[in-house]
A and B are shown apart, each in its own frame.
Chain A
Amino acid sequence: MFGRLGLAFSVASVIAAVLPPISTAHAEESLYVPLLTYRTGAYAGSGIGIADGMHDYLEMLNQRDGGIGGVKLALEECETGYNSQKGVECYEATKGKGALVYNPWSTGITLQLIPKAGVDKIPVLSMAYGLSAAADGKTFPWVFNPPMTYWDGASVAIKYIAEKSGGMAKLKGKTIGYIYLDAPYGKEPIPLLEELAKENGFKLAKYPVPGDKMQDQSSQWLNVQSDSPDWMIMWGWGAMNPTAVKEAAKIGYPMDRFIGVWFSGGDDDAKAGGAGAKGFLTLNFNGTGANYPALADIKKYVFAKGLSQVKGEDRIGENNYNHGVYNSMLIAEAIRNAQKIAGKKMIDAADMRAGLETLNIDAARIKEMGLEGFMAPMKVTCDDHSGENPVYVQQWDGAKWVKVSDWIEPMTDKIRPTLLADAKAYADKNAPWPARTEACGGR
Chain B
Amino acid sequence: MDLLASIFLDPFVRMGTNPTFLVQVVWEGFVSGVLYALVALGFVLIYKASGVFNFAQGIMVVFAALTLVGLAEMGMPGWLALAAAVVAMLILAFGIEKLVLRPLVNQPDIILLMATIGLTRFLVGLGEMVFGGEPKVMITGALGIPTDVLRVPLFGKTLILKEIDITAAVVALAMVAFLAVFFARTKIGRALRAVADDHQAALSVGISLEKIWVIVWFAAGVVALVTGIMWGARSQVSFDLEIIALKALPVLILGGFTSVPGAIVGGLMIGIGEKVGEIYWGRLLGGGIESWLAYLIALGFLLFRPQGLFGEKIIERV
Contact = CB atoms under 8 A, between A and B. Distances in A.
Contacts of B147: 274
A273 to B, nearest CB: 10
B10 interface: no
Nearest to B132: A311
B135 interface: yes
A349 interface: no
B243 interface: yes
B48 interface: no
A1 B246 CA distance: 33
- If over half of B's interface residues share one DSSP class (helix, strand or loop), that class is named, otherwise mixed; here it is helix
Interface in A234-254: 238-239, 242-243, 246, 249-252
Interface in A21-70: 39-45, 47-49
Contact of B235 (A1, A182, A215): A215
Nearest to B21: A226
B25 interface: yes
A143 B18 CA distance: 51
B134 A215 contact: no
Chain B CB within 10 Å — which of A215, A218, A243, A271 has the most? A218
B235 A243 contact: yes
Given A48-B134, A215-B243, A1 B25 contact: no
A292 interface: no
A421 interface: no
Interface string A263-294: 00000100110100000000000000000000
B133 A40 contact: yes
B279 A223 contact: yes
A49 B275 CA distance: 35
B134 A242 contact: no
Contacts of A215: 231, 234-235, 240-241, 243-244
A272 B137 contact: yes
Contact of A48 (B133, B236, B274): B133
A62 to B, nearest CB: 25
Interface stretch (B74-82, B281-289, B309-317): B281-289
Interface in B130-179: 132-135, 137, 147, 149, 160, 162
B148 to A, nearest CB: 10
Contact of A272 (B128, B236, B283, B286): B236
A214 B235 contact: yes
24 contacts: A40-B124, A44-B133, A45-B133, A45-B240, A208-B288, A213-B288, A213-B290, A213-B291, A214-B240, A215-B231, A215-B240, A216-B35, A219-B275, A219-B278, A219-B279, A220-B287, A222-B275, A225-B21, A225-B24, A226-B18, A226-B279, A242-B235, A243-B234, A268-B134
Interface of A: 1, 39-45, 47-49, 182, 206-216, 218-220, 222-223, 225-226, 238-239, 242-243, 246, 249-252, 268, 271-272, 274, 311
Q: Which 5 A-B pairs have the closest CB atoms?
A: A44-B133, A42-B240, A45-B135, A208-B288, A215-B235
